[in-house]
Structure 1
Amino acid sequence: MLFRQLFDPETSTYTYLVADLDTKTAMLIDPVLEQVERDRQLLQELGLTLKYCLETHIHADHITGTAKLREATGCVGIVPQNAQAVCADRLMKDGEVLELGSVKVEAIATLGHTDSHNAYLINKTHLLTGDSLLIRGCGRTDFQSGNAGMLYDAITQRLFTLPDETLVYPGHDYRGNTVSTIAEEKQWNPRFVGRSRDEFIQLMANLNLPNPKKIMEAVPANQRCGNVAA
């Protein structure tokens, strides 16, 4: 398996390139519109054919590159079940497994940041958590039908029960971190360590964070899979 972590500095978004080296087929998880040419160049240099673009959720802080990539490559656009994105080619539900040669990607529903959100467990070793579990943090729950109690349940019951050595790759990082493990987050994540479900809900209700700068344009565009033309 080929695995690459790519970064968009404007929105601190991680895009992930995953490929099967035998079939030379690839998928991108959470592509960013402004980085489409970077991604296409990398695919070309590595001799890979893009088969899938997966979204962990409908993003509020950046516009997805899926529409542009689909237009250029004919790839299949996939969003989580119940996502408000009628343009998607396919919906991926909890427990569903997507295969790309020897690469197996399992969807784990991790609701709470939004009301449709998947983490993707790749070959049982690499967990792409989107905006649910972050390194020493978690996604906010104060817009897009967020629900702090559901996020607490998803992370503690669905993600923290994975093997300790599972690698955690988030959808964003704002402090320069790139990867963690389930064991580390269970021990050191201040949003969860020593907090009950009710205490977590209270904490999340009092973060008072500003809205993402791009929310007004990003959400409607991402409901069209990144097609910025209304």
Structure 2
Amino acid sequence: MTIVRADQPMGLKQLFDETGSSTYTYLLWDTETKDCVLVDPVDVKVDRDLKEVEELGLNLIYGINTHAHADHITGTHLLKQQVPTMKSIISAASQAKADLTVANGDRIVFGNRSLVVKSTPGHTEGCVSFVADDESFVLTGDALLIQGCGRTDFQGGSAEHLYQSVHSQLFSLPKSTIVYPAHDYKSRTQSSIGAELESNPRLGGGKTQDDFVEIMAGLDLAYPKKIDVAVPANMRCGVPDVE
């Protein structure tokens, strides 16, 4: 049984990729057992991540991805080369390769702490979010960003599904729950469920599903620069193409 100690929050460090993807990687750990996980690692930042793990005296159990990203290659394959006991995790719905796959309601346990899996498709078919065992924070991937959301026009995306995901799985969390997204392009580090529910210009403030579908249809976004390289690699858990 997972033990949650209200007087001792989960260890958390937010790490940023300034090289182009603006990805936030999250290092989470049990402060008692020192078991830890890395969420959304980036290939070019693996040395940094492992240095953080070593300096904090942690034991890396899992490398986890919220989805098969289109803007960078995951670092899970490189992490596994350095830490052979680490296992990679991604959602079963993503159809990507990993040591373990998860689905809605599953619990990823490390030490006495855990993350609860929330299925949040819409940006991609396989997107999931991860809620801390005490609901103090949620890692939303690209489903819910700070005052925004992920695009819905590729990788099986659907504006209707994303609206339903965010409202049913994320906006149902306590308003005080901290939102930690997978990206931010304006140097913002966190928000809250309450703030996004009230003022997110795409999904909050009473916006209906029809409103949201119209907003997303009118974005006219450029084709992602790295998608043709990143997505195939991420479907292989970051393993290079040997052909």
TM-score band, normalised by shorter chain: over 0.9
Match of 2:180 in 1: 169
Amino acid across the alignment from 1:26: C
Give unmatched runs, 5+ long, in structure 2.
1-9
Q: Quick one: distance in 1 between partners of 2:221 and 2:155?
A: 14
Structure 2 residue aligned with 1:7: 16
Number of positions where the alignment pairs a residue of Structure 1 with one of Structure 2: 229
Q: Is residue 59 from structure 1 mapped to residue 53 from structure 2 by the alignment?
A: no
Deviation at 1:27, TM superposition (A): 0.3
What is the deviation of 1:125? 1.1
SS in 1 for 2:71: coil
Deviations 1:84-118 (A, max 9, x none): 223x0111110001111221100000010000111
- 2:51 corresponds to which residue? 41
Aligned match for 2:219, one of 194, 198, 207: 207
The alignment partner of 2:93 has SS state of coil
CA RMSD of aligned residues (A): 0.9
2:50 & 2:66 partners in 1: Cα distance?
Answer: 20
Partners of 1:47 and 1:194 lie apart in 2 by 45
- The corresponding residue for 2:7 is none
Which residue identity is paired with 2:235? Q
**Structure 1 runs not aligned, ≥5 long:** none
Identical amino acids, percent of aligned pairs? 46
Q: Deviations over 1:148-194 (max 9, x none)?
A: 00000011111111100000000000111100000000111000223
> 1:32 maps to what in 2?
42
List structure 1 runs of 4+ shifted beyond 6 angstroms: none
Offset of 1:2 from its aligned partner? 1.1
User: What is the TM-score with the length of structure 2 in the denominator?
Assistant: 0.92
Deviations 1:110-146, CA, capped at 9 Å, x for gaps: 0100001110001211100000000000010000000
Deviation of 1:49 after TM superposition, in Å, equals: 1.3
Pairs within 5 Å for 1:128-139 = 128-139=139-150
Partner of 1:223: 235
Q: Which residue of 2 aligns with 1:180?
A: 191
Corresponding residue number in structure 2 for 1:191: 202
Distance 2:228 2:219 in 1: 21
Structure 2 SS opposite 1:128:
strand
**Which structure has the highest strand share of the two?**
1
Q: Which amino acid aligns with 2:173?
A: L
- What's the CA shift for 1:196? 1.2
SS in 1 for 2:94: coil
1:198 Cα deviation from its structure 2 partner = 1.1
Post-superposition CA distance 1:33-61 (Å, at most 9, x none): 00000001111111111100111000000
Q: Equivalent residues in 2 for 1:73-152 (5 A)?
A: 73-74=83-84, 75-86=86-97, 88-123=98-133, 124-152=135-163
SS in structure 2 at match of 1:82 = helix
Q: Deviations over 1:187-212 (max 9, x none)?
A: 11000223210121111111111122
